[in-house]
Amino acid sequence: MGNEYKVLKIDEMSRMSDTQGLEHYYRHRIKTKGKVILTVDIEQEDFTPEKVAPILLKAAQNADKILTL
């Protein structure tokens, strides 16, 4: 992770899917090194450290790049 972002909070969420019934996902609130607060939703099947880390890193880097525009 380095200093690119910090996870502030993770909430388990549920929603109705049009095709699969009830589906679960995890809402991550992160703070980037540029001090941007983001919410990133992660599907239940991707909720592992190995899969989540690059998703959050990419979101944090994109937000910090947009912040400098």
Give pLDDT tens digits for 16-58.
Answer: 888 878 999 999 999 999 999 999 999 999 999 999 999 999 9
Q: 54, 12, 8: which is closest to 31 by C-alpha?
A: 8
Both structure tokens of 7:
């996870």
Are 45 and 55 spatial neighbours (Cβ–Cβ below 8 Å)? no
Q: 3, 17, 4, 7: which is closest to 49 by C-alpha?
A: 7
Q: What is the pLDDT of residue 2?
A: 65
1 — pLDDT class (breaks 50, 70, 90): very low
Ordered by start, the domain boundaries in the chain are 5-67
Considering the entire predicted model, what is its pTM? 0.86
